[in-house]
Amino acid sequence: MKRHENMAALSCSIGQQTVEYSTLSSEEQEKILHLQQAILESVAHCEDHLEIINQVCRLEEQLLPDSVGSVMLMDNGYEFLNVYAAPSIPPEAVAQLNGLRPGPGAGSCGNVIYRREPQFVSNTFTDPRWQDLRQLAYDFNLCSCWSVPIYSVEHKIVGAFALSSFEHRLPSPFHNKVLEIGSSIIGIVLERNKSQESLRLLQMVFEGSEEGIMITDSNKTILSVNQAFTRILGYSIEELLGETPKKLASGHHDRGFYAAMWKTINTFGHWHGEIWNRSKNGEIIPEWLAISALNDPSGKTTHYIGIFSDIRERKNAEDQIRYLSSHDVLTGLPNRMLFKDRLDNAIAFAARTRLKVALLNLDLDQFKMLNDSLGHAAGDDLLRCVTSRLKMCVRETDTLCRPGGDEFFVALANMPDTDSISAMVDKIHEQISKPIVLEGHHISLSCSIGIAVYPDDGGNFETLMKRADNAMYQAKDAGRNTYRYFREQLNNDSHEFIRITHGLREAVKSNQFTLHFQPQVDLAAGKVLGAEALVRWNHPVEGLIPPGCFIGIAEQTGLIVEIGEWVLHEACRQAVAWQLAGLPPMVMAVNMSAVQFKRGNVKKLIRSALDSSGLDPQHLEIELTESMLIHDMNYMLSLLNELKDMGLKLSIDDFGTGYSSLAYLKKFKIDRLKIDQSFVRDIATDPNDAAIVHAIVQMAHTLSLQVIAEGVENEEMLQYVSRCQCDQAQGYHFARPMLPEVFSAFIADRAQGD
């Protein structure tokens, strides 16, 4: 295609001279036609450009007997002329012409460049234009010289074409035409060679590039790819021709990615970035790709060129560096930095799901002695063996870490309760304690583990790490080969903890719980307005166990959820049973644990208890603790608003012992405050407690809240809370917590007394 275009251009250029052929004789016109035909045949056969130019010189020499033709071109710096073609000029003359600086005395060719017009010198021996080359004219008998400019495609003079004669003469119109035709042909051949050379260089770059190159048309149909492209992606050129780049899609990018990429190309004409393509054998290959749009002179896109680098090695190196920067080289476990990141993520998830996260600080007992006696290589093998055993104990959601030495960290994520954590720790102890055979030695290991739990012991990595470290040293002090929680109450008697936990599970299965009810008295009217439901564990062997002995463990193990569900249903059922038995409707107050709010669907649970019992919601009061309100305040605010919309009453239990704040009292729709019995107990003897009770009552009334004092045990306490204008009271002064039938009789007796 390119050859035909050049031939057409050459023919057109030569043909432009025919308009003046009418001034020439028929014989001269015939000679020019023969010249044209000879040159066109050479071009058609794709002969070398220099050979074609030499042929032009020879053919024109034939048209001007006793002459020699030559072509001189400017150098790249456009300072000097050098002979490019002169087939009939002796080499020694060529040597004298090379390096000719254009100027007024630089011969015909030098003056063509200097004066920028044709130069016809009939006598080189006398003409001042040949002053600098006079000796050359004498030496080689160059009597006359006619020279015309050679133009580039930009119409810039790049050289000169000359016919030098051994006779003193001027050119005829025929000779002028011959010179013009020769100059025009030489200019076109030079441009053609320049284009071919550029194409050849581009082809060498195209095929020799280490980067993959693809060329498509405006419809993104593949027209060509280079060898690097086929080598990297495995497709032959034939397999890709006529296809589109979609054939290479890896599936790693969505439509939005490609839409954004083509939007950038259409807007700015180019795009570059990282992309993943699929090779012929299915391998996913990361590439750094640059796409450019090629436009025609009108601005219309005709082609797209994509050039990509295979960045697999760079990606692998980056992955290796990233791995080494975040993992322990010896065991392959995450290092402290990566462990912190994963623990932070586990804490964030636990905050949303109201689960627990345990941070274990595990230290091998007496490892230094083993390492020193067996050698460091064996010690390294021992650490790798411990790592394998730890991996057997944890789940995919958990994270192991070796910060260094014989220390390991473990993050147990999504733990429902402390009991589950203890089970995991027991499993770790069991695995670590199994004998290890190493270099013929039977080795027994043990470890000391410190445990800190989110959210009980802290809310961030630093706090939990410090407390797990403290707990680990407590385990060391306890004789090693054991574990300790940071919270002291979980460590006081681990056997008792396990025993009660086991007993509670049995109690839940066999329904060993019962409810006692303590009356709540209106101080102004002296009437019983409600009852607080209090759970008791009726152990088959130990008898009645008070809540203080098991509620804390029930909360830690999560069993409080099942126990609390039973309490709520039973309390609602009993309230309705009393009404059916003829007792006046009373408000049933039920305590709900923070664990129930974190783990259970409280709204669904309350609705179920009301529906199954038939209790009117206005006769049910849910008692909350202050700490529950400030934990995830937005969630609690939304939930309590929903409960109020159901018609329930809400009260804050043990008010004054937690995070007492007017802020949440104003936000939450609370009906009643319960003054903690710790303030009521010494109300008659401690002025501070008395002041606190008085202040709480005044504040509550200002906020239109009712106040009930718990723990009223004698007449003196009753008189004081009455003088403080407390609305209600409960305590041993009125009655101890009673079984349902005893409570019913108590109400009946008070009714008769009234």
At 2 the pLDDT is 39
Specify the amino acid at residue 439.
E
Query: Measured in whole angstroms, how far is the alpha carbon of residue 730 from the centre of its chain?
Result: 59
Give every strand in the sheet of 399-404, ordered side by side.
399-404, 407-415, 356-364, 447-454, 483-485
Nearest to 537 by CA among 512, 573, 560: 512
At 228 the pLDDT is 86
At 490 the pLDDT is 47
CB atoms under 10 Å from CB of 302, counted, come to 11
Which residue shows structure tokens 């609370």?
Answer: 670
Specify whether the CB–CB gap between 142 and 86 falls below 8 A.
no
* Burial class (CB within 10 angstroms; exposed 0-12, middle 13-18, buried 19+) of 700: buried
Report d(CA 122, CA 129) in Å as an integer.
11
Specify whether the CB–CB gap between 567 and 606 falls below 8 A.
no
**Residue-range domains of the chain with CATH:** 2-201 (3.30.450.40), 211-315 (3.30.450.20), 327-491 (3.30.70.270), 562-753 (3.20.20.450)
* DSSP label of 734: T
Report d(CA 569, CA 654) in Å as an integer.
23
Report d(CA 445, CA 440) in Å as an integer.
16
- Helical ranges in 214-335 per DSSP H: 227-233, 237-240, 255-268, 312-326
Nearest to 568 by CA among 600, 528, 543: 600
Specify the amino acid at residue 222.
I
Length, in residues, of the chain:
754
At 193 the pLDDT is 81
Report d(CA 321, CA 327) in Å as an integer.
10
Specify the amino acid at residue 163.
L
Report d(CA 733, CA 715) in Å as an integer.
7
Report d(CA 55, CA 674) in Å as an integer.
117
Mapped onto helix, strand or coil, the DSSP state of residue 167 is coil
At 9 the pLDDT is 37
Nearest to 347 by CA among 459, 487, 464: 459
Report d(CA 616, CA 414) in Å as an integer.
38
Specify whether the CB–CB gap between 596 and 636 falls below 8 A.
no
Cis peptide upstream of residue 455 (ω within 30 degrees of 0):
yes
Rg (CA), the chain: 51
Q: List Cα–Cα distances, 198 to 51, 138, 516, in angstroms.
A: 19, 42, 100
CA angle, corner 676, sides to 671 and 678, nearest 5? 170
Q: 572: which 2 tokens?
A: 């609602």
690-696: long-range contacts, CB 8 A cutoff, minimum separation 24: 690/720, 692/656, 693/720, 693/721, 693/724, 693/726, 694/724, 696/655, 696/656
DSSP string for residues in 374-430: H-HHHHHHHHHHHHHHHHHHS-TTSEEEEEETTEEEEEEEEE-SHHHHHHHHHHHHH
Mapped onto helix, strand or coil, the DSSP state of residue 68 is strand
pTM: 0.41
Report d(CA 692, CA 697) in Å as an integer.
9
List the chain residues with pLDDT less than 50: 1-19, 21, 489-490, 492, 659
* Burial class (CB within 10 angstroms; exposed 0-12, middle 13-18, buried 19+) of 309: middle
Specify whether the CB–CB gap between 603 and 665 falls below 8 A.
no
Specify whether the CB–CB gap between 249 and 278 falls below 8 A.
yes
Q: 616: which 2 tokens?
A: 């009117």
Report d(CA 102, CA 75) in Å as an integer.
11
Alpha-carbon torsion (522, 528, 533, 538), positive or negative:
positive
Specify whether the CB–CB gap between 192 and 5 falls below 8 A.
no
Report d(CA 28, CA 36) in Å as an integer.
13
Nearest to 425 by CA among 435, 438, 410, 408: 410
Give every strand in the sheet of 222-225, ordered side by side.
222-225, 212-217, 301-310, 284-295, 270-278
Report d(CA 407, CA 328) in Å as an integer.
12
Q: Parallel, antiparallel, or unpaired: how do β-strands 356-364 and 407-415 relate?
A: antiparallel
Longest dimension (CA), the chain: 158
CB atoms under 10 Å from CB of 328, counted, come to 21
At 730 the pLDDT is 94
Report d(CA 716, CA 93) in Å as an integer.
138
- Helical ranges in 394-521 per DSSP H: 418-432, 461-477, 494-510
CA angle, corner 601, sides to 597 and 602, nearest 5? 60
Report d(CA 754, CA 749) in Å as an integer.
9
* Burial class (CB within 10 angstroms; exposed 0-12, middle 13-18, buried 19+) of 455: middle
Mapped onto helix, strand or coil, the DSSP state of residue 740 is helix
At 43 the pLDDT is 65
Mapped onto helix, strand or coil, the DSSP state of residue 266 is helix
Specify whether the CB–CB gap between 387 and 364 falls below 8 A.
no
